[in-house]
Amino acid sequence: MIGVYGGSFDPFTKGHADIVRRALTLLDELHIVIGVNIQKRPFMTPEQRLESIRTLYRSDPRVHVTVHDGILARYAQEIGAKVLIRGLRNASDFEVERPISEVNRLKFGVETLFLMADPELSLVSSSLVRELATFGESYDEYLPDEAAPNDIV
């Protein structure tokens, strides 16, 4: 089965990597799709994120990484994916994701599989990393080793 894990991944954190690791125990193939969110000011360019994540998964042929600026469920349809993967850190994440998952199922025929964050990683977010970096604080502990970009802020 093919799955799609989409997000801004700005930057890709240990929490994201944990969701990928666990999704790969359930799927034959996973597409990590870097979305372009026009409402956010990017921390890293889409190309930097693409290269960083591709480097992290370069030895796993089941993982495909791409940038997409459209509707994620439509992308899933186009590649024959049956499921979208979403990581949830808390109930607030679920409240945001639930109606989106219903639209994706009803309009595009794509199911959503929610994976709860590992409790040790539930506080890790791209927003946290961006804020730490903005103020010159260390943040490497929240990024997978090879995904830590050298030229952030």
pLDDT value at position 147?
A: 52
What's the whole-number mean pLDDT along residues 58-87? 96
Helix (H) / strand (E) element for 86: namely strand 83-88
pLDDT value at position 153?
A: 39
Percentage helix, strand, coil for the chain under 3-state DSSP, each rounded to 5: 40, 20, 35
CB 83 within 8 Å of CB 113: yes
Asked if the model's pLDDT at residue 149 lies above 50, the reply is: no
pTM over 0.75: yes
Asked if the model's pLDDT at residue 47 lies above 50, the reply is: yes
What's the whole-number mean pLDDT along residues 88-93? 94
Q: Which of 15-19, 103-107, 109-113, 147-151 shows the lowest per-residue confidence on average (mean pLDDT)? A: 147-151
Asked if the model's pLDDT at residue 10 lies above 80, the reply is: yes
Task: Compute the mean pLDDT over every residue in the chain, rounded to the nearest whole number.
Answer: 92
Asked if the model's pLDDT at residue 108 lies above 70, the reply is: yes
Question: In the structure, what pLDDT confidence band is assigned to residue 23 with cuts at 50, 70 and 90?
Answer: very high
Asked if the model's pLDDT at residue 66 lies above 60, the reply is: yes
